[in-house]
Structure 1
Amino acid sequence: MEILAFGVQDDEKPLLEEAFAGQHEVRCLDVFLTEDTAPIAAGYEVVSSSVNADLNGRVLRALSAGGTRMIAQRSTGFNNIDLEAARRLGLTVSRVSYYSPYSVAEFAWTLAMAVNRRIVRASNRTRDFDFRLTGLMGRDMRGRTAGVLGTGKIGEAFTRIAHGFGMNLLGWDREPNPACTGLGMRYVDKDELLSSADLVSLHLPLLESTHHIVDATALSRMRDDAILVNSSRGGLVDTEALVEELRAGRFAGVGLDVYEAEAGLFFLDKSLEAVEDDTLARLITFPQVVVTSHQAYYTHEAVGQIVDATVRNVADYLAGRRSENTLCPAG
Structure 2
Amino acid sequence: MNIACFSTKSYDRQSFDRILPEFGHSFSYFEAKLDIHTVSLAEGHEAICTFVNDHIDAAIVKKLKQLGIKLIALRCAGYNQVDLDAAETNKLKIVRVPAYSPEAVAEHAIALILTLARKTHKAYNRVRENNFSLEGLTGVNIHGKTIGVIGTGAIGRAFCRIAKGFGCKVIAYDIYENEEMKQLGVTYLPLNEVLSSSHIISLHCPLTPETHHLINATTIKHMQDGVALINTSRGALIETKAAIKALKNKKIGYFGIDVYEQEENIFFKNLSEEIMQDEQIARLMTFPNVLVTGHQAFLTKEALAQISQTTLTNITAFENGEELVNEVKAS
Q: Could you tell me the TM-score, scaled by structure 1's length?
A: 0.96
Q: What are the Cα deviations for residues 31-79 of structure 1, in whole angstroms up to 9, with x where unaligned?
A: 2111211111112111111111110111111212122111101000000
Q: Which amino acid aligns with 1:109?
A: I
Q: Paired residue for 1:124?
A: 125
2:253 matches 1:233: no
Root mean square deviation of aligned Cα: 1.3
Q: Percent identity?
A: 37
Q: Which amino acid aligns with 1:9?
A: K
Q: Paired residue for 1:286?
A: 287
Q: CA separation in 1, counterparts of 2:92 and 2:325?
A: 17
Q: What are the Cα deviations for residues 70-93 of structure 1, in whole angstroms up to 9, with x where unaligned?
A: 110100000000010011111111
Match of 1:327, SS state, is coil
Q: Paired residue for 2:18?
A: 18
Q: How does 1:74-89 map to 2 (within 5 A)?
A: 74-89=75-90
Q: CA separation in 2, counterparts of 1:328 and 1:67?
A: 20
- The farther-off stretch of 196-205 and 180-189 is 180-189
2:156 matches 1:155: yes
Match of 1:47, SS state, is strand
Q: Paired residue for 2:46?
A: 45
State how many pairs are aligned.
Answer: 329
Q: CA separation in 2, counterparts of 1:314 and 1:31?
A: 21
Q: Paired residue for 2:259?
A: 258
2:299 matches 1:298: yes
1:17 is displaced (CA, Å) by 1.7
Q: Paired residue for 2:9?
A: 9
Q: CA separation in 1, counterparts of 2:155 and 2:329?
A: 25
Judged with a 3 Å threshold, the aligned counterparts in structure 2 of structure 1 residues 76 and 269 are, in CA distance, closer, same or farther, namely same
1:165 is displaced (CA, Å) by 0.8
Q: How does 1:1-331 map to 2 (within 5 A)?
A: 1-21=1-21, 23-328=24-329
Q: What are the Cα deviations for residues 198-231 of structure 1, in whole angstroms up to 9, with x where unaligned?
A: 1100000000111111111111221122111100
Match of 1:312, SS state, is helix
Q: CA separation in 1, counterparts of 2:190 and 2:51?
A: 34
1:167 is displaced (CA, Å) by 0.9
Whether contact under 8 Å (2:228, 2:253) holds in the other structure is yes
Whether contact under 8 Å (2:99, 2:154) holds in the other structure is no
Q: Which amino acid aligns with 1:13?
A: R
Q: CA separation in 2, counterparts of 1:2 and 1:197?
A: 49
1:297 is displaced (CA, Å) by 0.8
1:234 is displaced (CA, Å) by 0.5
Q: CA separation in 2, counterparts of 1:191 and 1:92?
A: 38
Q: CA separation in 1, counterparts of 2:275 and 2:164?
A: 43
Q: CA separation in 2, counterparts of 1:273 and 1:85?
A: 36
Q: Which amino acid aligns with 1:206?
A: L
Whether contact under 8 Å (1:91, 1:328) holds in the other structure is no
Q: Which amino acid aligns with 1:105?
A: A
Match of 1:326, SS state, is coil
Q: CA separation in 2, counterparts of 1:152 and 1:92?
A: 24
Match of 1:31, SS state, is coil
Match of 2:62, SS state, is helix
Q: CA separation in 1, counterparts of 2:274 and 2:58?
A: 30
Q: CA separation in 2, counterparts of 1:135 and 1:226?
A: 19
Q: Which amino acid aligns with 2:102?
A: P
Unmatched runs of 5 consecutive residues or more in structure 1: none
